[in-house]
Structure 1
Amino acid sequence: MTAKLVLHLPDHERAALEAGKMASLYPRLKRMIERRGGRVEIAPRFPPTAPDGNLHVVDNARKPHPDVLISALAYLEGCWHLDPKGVLADSSIAERPFDPETVDPVEAEAYVATLRVRFSDQRNSRYHQKKSVEEIDPEGIVVFLQGPPPYRRGHAYMGLDEMLRTVLEGAGGRPVYIKPHPIRKDEGVQVIKGLKELGYRPIKTNANVHDLLRQAAVTVSANSAASLEGFLHGTPTLLFARADFDQVAGIVRTPEDFAPALEQALAGRRDYTKFLTWYFSQCLWLDDPEFEAQVMRRFAEIGFDADRLGLSDIS
């Protein structure tokens, strides 16, 4: 019996798929398989613990499983992980060494130019952003708050409160701007209020993320997508958690690490062009003409080639 593709989706992704929306990875996979005569099942988010002979794609799974590819948005809209090991901080990219000498500089400049046109030049980000332009002190440190995942999944090197106190106490007179997460604004406001009650002087901001990134001296987060977006602006970042883009970031594991990491980050802006090219070339872009071929290669790499899935050739 041929294998089927089983998509394990959270409610919002399932609803979008059922509504016929095509902005996500999952309807693209469903359409791709069905066009080739294969079978697709939509299932609850978590897969069976033992292999059942089918190929499972699981949204944001925390741990790898046999016959499973784990999926999640890879920081930029339209770009996805589809990875047997994990996503984001747990993706296979995290284990691969980045060697800038292997990246063609001309190709990298062209590649990243398209990313800038699509994202930073248009001031577009994953979540809704202000259209109005705002200015900040170019000496400022911008902290991007996140939700629970980096802490719940054990990626963070320290808790949120300790991270914020470390930054505020080690800023050396630089203003510290804190941007609440766009879908957790109330929580962020309370965090900032609590810091002020303790005598700190953070500056709350809801400015467009690209206004902050283009002007900040450095960004700080656990492993926020905004920190990676900052590379489009040449802005360095300090990470207080594991990430699959931390090879070109400053890493802060303890409060004592912050001062030297900040000094090094401020020593001179870096060219992140080759790294962005290397990183995103390992992800799936929904609008890539080679999207379906890349997906089929990933399926085959874990043992699910076209024959096993019962797919016909439509080339």
Structure 2
Amino acid sequence: MSDIVFHVPRSWLSLGGEGMRPFYLRLMEGLEDRGVSFDVTVLDRDLLPDAIEADDAIHVIHHGRFPHPRARNADVAYIYPFWNFDSQGIRAFSSIGAAHFPQGEIDPEVARPFFRRLRKRIVGGRTSRYEQPEAAQVLGPVKAAVFLQSEGHRVVGETCYLDRWQMLETVCAKVDGPIVVKPHPRDKDAATRAELKAICARYPHLRVFDGNIHDLISVAERVITINSAVGIEAYLHRKPVILCGQSDFHHVADVARSEGELAGILARPPRKRAYDKFIWWYFGHHCLSSVDGDLVDRFLARCAQ
């Protein structure tokens, strides 16, 4: 019987496993070196409960949301090369969301260099989770930057406290001054553009932006989103964030669970937080990095917890 079972997409195992992510390849090489037995199987979410109960192994589930003491749900945690490796789920469903952020216990001399390196790569490099336009656009000061997601995506829809239109309409009604909204780069639905055009007609201080995400965040007084990775990127800009959905990085943001709550938060001056400490705590402490020299040791320690 194997000590560890990796459940991965069928497409990865075609062509001799050439589609396997480097994160898993590094782990498997390290496990072989240590004499730890493992198996790789096709991910079948319907059969997962029976598969886990059939043995005593640790089951690593790619893009998983399967809570179990012997399950480890794994996928990229917003920013490469960091991965969630969690017994509850990934991203919005990970156990990090329920964890206490011990801000006062974190050494700033450890957190700040980590934060600066990540900020230099992401902000300085003008990169994001999704491809961004390279050309820089100069924007004037923006009171609120709103970043949309598509609730048509199964997981996003499940985690909304407000839908994207409730969120945007509330911001437009309550914020005096320039507001800019950026549609999700993968949302090609003409209905989205039509609705944005209609809202812009009602609120002249709103404009739509399709440029590089960092050009907008850099001039925004605050950032509002459901639970997009843009919230993490805004932290790297040291910008206050309002989240309108379930998230595992809410600890240094304001969270609005209703239109009334969102209106109340918008009525208060934005307050900056300990973003450097949080970024280290989230990524350096809770996530695994696929490029760390101690990846396999940390992986095995998480399996043993």
Coarse TM-score class (shorter-chain normalised): 0.7 to 0.9
Match of 2:227 among 223, 238, 241: 223
Q: Tell me by how many angstroms 1:237 deviates.
A: 0.8
1:35-184 pair list within 5 angstroms: 35-37=33-35, 38-46=37-45, 47-50=47-50, 51-53=53-55, 54-147=57-150, 148-153=153-158, 155-172=159-176, 174-184=177-187
Q: Tell me by how many angstroms 1:122 deviates.
A: 1.0
Query: Aligned pair in 2 of structure 1 residues 20, 87: CA closer, same or farther (>3 Å)?
Result: closer
2:287, 2:264 → 1: CA distance? 32
1:60, 1:105 → 2: CA distance? 32
Match of 1:284 among 288, 301, 304: 288
2:295, 2:246 → 1: CA distance? 28
Query: Aligned pair in 2 of structure 1 residues 16, 132: CA closer, same or farther (>3 Å)?
Result: farther
1:193-272 pair list within 5 angstroms: 193-197=194-198, 199-201=201-203, 202-264=206-268, 266-272=269-275
**Structure 2-normalised TM-score?**
0.87
Q: Tell me by how many angstroms 1:4 deviates.
A: 4.6
Deviates more, 1:54-63 or 1:122-131: 54-63
Instruction: Supply the AA of the counterpart residue of 1:228.
Output: I
Instruction: Supply the AA of the counterpart residue of 2:172.
Output: L
2:208, 2:165 → 1: CA distance? 16
Q: Tell me by how many angstroms 1:249 deviates.
A: 0.6
Query: Aligned pair in 2 of structure 1 residues 119, 15: CA closer, same or farther (>3 Å)?
Result: farther
Partner of residue 8, structure 1: 7
Contact kept in structure 2, 1:17 and 1:26, CA below 8 Å: no
1:68, 1:77 → 2: CA distance? 22
Q: Deviations for 1:126-160, whole angstroms, at most 9, x for unmatched residues? A: 2111111112232232222223244433x211222
Match of 2:30 among 20, 29, 32: 32
Partner of residue 307, structure 1: none
Instruction: Supply the AA of the counterpart residue of 1:39.
Output: F
Q: Tell me by how many angstroms 1:270 deviates.
A: 3.6
2:143, 2:10 → 1: CA distance? 39
**Structure 1-normalised TM-score?**
0.84
Query: Aligned pair in 2 of structure 1 residues 122, 39: CA closer, same or farther (>3 Å)?
Result: same
Contact kept in structure 1, 2:43 and 2:61, CA below 8 Å: no
SS in 1 for 2:135: coil
Contact kept in structure 1, 2:149 and 2:156, CA below 8 Å: no
Query: Aligned pair in 2 of structure 1 residues 251, 17: CA closer, same or farther (>3 Å)?
Result: farther
1:267, 1:144 → 2: CA distance? 17
Unaligned stretches of 5+ residues in structure 2: none
Contact kept in structure 2, 1:77 and 1:125, CA below 8 Å: no
Instruction: Supply the AA of the counterpart residue of 2:191.
Output: Q
Partner of residue 306, structure 1: none
Q: CA RMSD in A?
A: 2.3
Instruction: Supply the AA of the counterpart residue of 1:130.
Output: P
1:160, 1:14 → 2: CA distance? 37
SS in 2 for 1:48: helix
Query: Aligned pair in 2 of structure 1 residues 158, 12: CA closer, same or farther (>3 Å)?
Result: farther
Aligned residue pairs total 294
Unaligned stretches of 5+ residues in structure 1: 302-315
1:28, 1:16 → 2: CA distance? 19
Partner of residue 312, structure 1: none
Q: Deviations for 1:93-133, whole angstroms, at most 9, x for unmatched residues? A: 11111121101111111111111122111112121111111
